[in-house]
Amino acid sequence: MKLEVKVPAVGESVTEAVIGSWEKKTGEFVKMNDVILLLDTDKASVEVVAEKDGVLTTTANAGDTVQIGATVGYIDTDAQPAAQPAAAKTDAAPAAKTESAQAAPASDAGGDRKTHPELQAHQSPAVQRIVNEKGIDPSSVTGTGLGGRLTKADVAGASAAPAKAEAPAAAAKPAAAKAPAAPILQGPSKQGDIKRVPMTNIRKRIAERLVQAQHNAAILTTFNEIDMSKVIDLRGKYKDQFKEKYGVNLGFNGFFVKAVIEALKAFPAVNAWIDGQEIEYHNYYNIGIAVSTERGLMVPNIKDADQYTISGIELAIRNLATKGRDGKITPDDLSGGTFSITNGGVFGSLLSTPILNPPQSAILGLHKIEDRPVAINGKVEIRPMMYVALSYDHRIIDGKEAVGFLVKIKEGVEDPERLLLEV
* Amino acid symbol at 370: E
Instruction: Check 112, 367, 394, 415 and give the catalytic one.
Output: 394
Cα 266 to Cα 259: distance, rounded to the nearest angstrom:
11
Catalytic annotation on 394?
yes
Is 398 annotated as catalytic? yes
Measure the CA–CA gap between 386 and 371, rounded to whole angstroms.
Answer: 9
| Residue 73: closest CA among 142, 136, 129, 3 | 3
DSSP string covering 317-358: HHHHHHHHHTT---HHHHS--SEEEEEGGGGT-S-------T
The whole-angstrom separation of Cα 111 and Cα 114 is 10
Instruction: Report how far residue 399's alpha carbon sits from residue 393's, in angstroms, rounded to the nearest whole number.
Output: 10
| 339 and 271 Cβ atoms separated by less than 8 Å | yes
Catalytic choice (78, 240, 398, 415) = 398
Taking the CA atoms of the chain, what radius of gyration do you get in angstroms?
43
Task: Give the phi and the psi of residue 381 in degrees, each rounded to 5.
Answer: -130, 155
DSSP structure string for 68-134? TT-EEEEEETT--PPPPPPPPP--PPPPPP-PPPPPPPPPSTTS----PPPPSS---HHHHHHHHHH
Note whether 60 and 74 are within 8 A (CB): no
The residue type found at 365 is G
Q: Is 152 left (phi over 0), alpha (psi -120 to 50) or beta?
A: alpha
- The residues assigned a catalytic role are 394, 398
